[in-house]
Copies of this chain bind each other. A is one copy, B any other.
Amino acid sequence: MTPRFDTILITGAAGRLGTELRRGLAPLARRLRLSDITEIQDLQPNEDAVICDLADESAILALTQGVDAIVHFGGIPLERGWDAILNANIRGSYHIYEGARKAGVKRIIYASSVHAIGYHDLESQIDANAPHRPDGLYGLSKCFVEDLGRLYWDKFGIETAALRIFSSFPEPADRRMLWSYLSFDDCVRLVTAALTAPRVGFTVSFGLSDNTVKTVDNRLAAHLGYQAKDSAEPFRAGVEARTDAPDPKAPAVRHLGGWFVDLGHPDDKDKT
For A267, give the chain B residue with the smallest CB separation. Answer: B98
Q: Which residues of B contact A214 (CB under 8 A)?
A: 222-223, 225
Contact partner of A213 (CB less than 8 A), chosen from B131, B155, B179, B224, is B224
Binds B, one of A12-20, A29-37, A43-51, A192-200: A192-200
In the complex, the answer to whether A151 meets B125 with C-beta atoms within 8 Å is no
User: Would you list 10 pairs from A and B whose C-beta atoms are within 8 A, ordered by A residue?
Assistant: A82-B94, A132-B132, A135-B155, A140-B147, A140-B151, A154-B261, A175-B198, A199-B246, A199-B254, A201-B248
Which positions 138-178 of chain A face chain B at CB distance < 8 Å?
A: 139-140, 143-144, 146-148, 150-151, 154-157, 159, 175-176, 178
In the complex, the answer to whether A178 meets B198 with C-beta atoms within 8 Å is yes
- Number of copies of this chain in the oligomer? 6
In the A-B complex, the 8 residue pairs with the closest CB atoms: A213-B225, A214-B222, A212-B225, A119-B154, A143-B147, A199-B248, A122-B223, A123-B201
For A250, give the chain B residue with the smallest CB separation. Answer: B199
Given contacts A136-B155, A139-B151, contact A201 B144 (CB under 8 A): no
Q: Does A106 contact B (CB under 8 A)?
A: yes
Q: Which residues of B contact A267 (CB under 8 A)?
A: 98
Residues of A in contact (CB 8 Å), total 75
Q: Does A80 contact B (CB under 8 A)?
A: no
In the complex, the answer to whether B245 meets A4 with C-beta atoms within 8 Å is yes
Q: Which residues of B contact A253 (CB under 8 A)?
A: 198-199
In the complex, the answer to whether A237 meets B1 with C-beta atoms within 8 Å is yes
Q: Which residues of B contact A140 (CB under 8 A)?
A: 144, 147-148, 151
Q: Which residues of B contact A133 (CB under 8 A)?
A: 150-151, 154
Q: Does A220 contact B (CB under 8 A)?
A: yes
Q: Which residues of B contact A91 (CB under 8 A)?
A: 86
Which positions 207-226 of chain A face chain B at CB distance < 8 Å?
A: 211-215, 217, 219-220, 222-225
Q: Does A7 contact B (CB under 8 A)?
A: no
For A237, give the chain B residue with the smallest CB separation. Answer: B1
Give per-residue flags for A54-86: 1 if the beta carbon is below 8 A from chain B beta carbons, else 0: 000000000000000000000000000010001
In the complex, the answer to whether A134 meets B147 with C-beta atoms within 8 Å is yes
In the complex, the answer to whether A220 meets B125 with C-beta atoms within 8 Å is yes
Interchain nearest-CB distance for A253 vs B (Å): 5
In the complex, the answer to whether B151 meets A135 with C-beta atoms within 8 Å is yes
